[in-house]
Structure 1
Amino acid sequence: MAIKVLVVDDEAAAIDVLKYYIDMTPTLSLLATFTDSRQAIQYCMLHDVDLLLCDIEMPLMNGLEVAEKQLGKTAVIFTTAHTNYAVKAFELNIVDYLVKPISYERFLQAISKYKEQFPTSVDDHFFVKTGTKGHLERINIADIIHVEGARNYVTIYHGTTQTITLLNLKDLEQRLPARDFLRIQKSSIVAIKHISGTKGGSVLLTNGNLVVIGPTYKEQVAKVINSKLIN
């Protein structure tokens, strides 16, 4: 199940960065963004929010006040350009304190801290609709090798089988554990354990498929591969 995230910052550029990072992270789902912290509090009262990414120095109601109001309700990660609030912030039992500019790697570290503090159960399978009316097919997550999206359809390569279903790739991505799967281009996700090597600008999978690595994802893929590299 995806972690439901709310972003609060009075600077649009800062929100754009966090929106991009959230979109890059399969286990996160962005609910909404606010430049007005008071509106964010109202939203939290009406909706189920797991994690709040919040700036500190904001007009009307600052991030510390927001965190105090959400204490025991919603987890908070501060995203701020200022270091002088760190002590007060951690007194509020926040998850992490990110200082701008925030790198994607540092962002992921904060998300990992959230997952450690608030573990959730992970399903080992799910069901999808097939082309046959009334027929559902069980997909075991451990069997998935590669997932490929095309418009509103997704092809799931699992074991020696491939299943095509009417589904959005983003929705499926949120059901896959981030530690086990890696998006390598806009329309492709691969199981890390099924990467058998790289060839040029592509990833070679255990089923023989060769999937091109998208320019946006090259750095992320390289980090995963290099973490297993023996020099």
Structure 2
Amino acid sequence: MINCIIVDDEEHAIEVIQHYLKSVAEIKILATFTNPIDALGFLSINTIDLIFLDIHMPEISGIDFIKTINNRNAQVILTTAYKDFATTGFDLEVVDYLVKPIPLTRFLQALTKAQKIIHAKKNNFQISLNDDDYFMVKTEAKGKMLKINIAEIDFIEGMKNYLAFHHNGIRTLALLTMKDVEERLPKNKFIRVQKSFIIALNKITSIDGNRIVLKGVSAEILIGETYRKNFLDVMKHKLIS
């Protein structure tokens, strides 16, 4: 089942999408919102797979809405009466951009694309949470699944459409994004230090200015400005005075 919400300041636009989704058994509409602020509150406490999102809304635009969501895992289909923001939308990694009035065939094309992405992510990444935590990831080799022990991960590097897991002296490429793994890694064991790097806290051997040194790792990892305060706060809790 794919859980979705609809965010649009026009009731009629919401009704059109609801009508289109009636025939799609796999999609469950958890809520609809004419106020995007209410939608943000809902997202903070609920897990959503797909968002149908209007761009032009009085309280906050759809573009700013996407930027406001932290660690977004949900896929987004933008809906609007204007074509002006198509490029901006795709820069924010939305699934599709639908111009109102939305024809049913075009709507179903976008929905099918979203379904494929959501299913691929769910199938490509599984995690077992027990005393011997590990990932099962689908690698770049067709049909190959590989077990990666969490305790052996040094760091994870973002590489456009792939992630590189650096673990136990090797590197494994998986068709995933940073968003796919960040929320599902143990918060007490891993931390994101810049846009393209998540590191294992127990592998840190020293911090030299903005440079992090990891045990047995020659790669230089720098602390990104956006992530610096959170990283230093975490390190302060581990500091013995």
In the superposition, the TM-score normalised over structure 1's length comes to: 0.50
Structure having greater relative contact order (Cα 8 Å, sep ≥ 6): 1
In the superposition, the TM-score normalised over structure 2's length comes to: 0.48
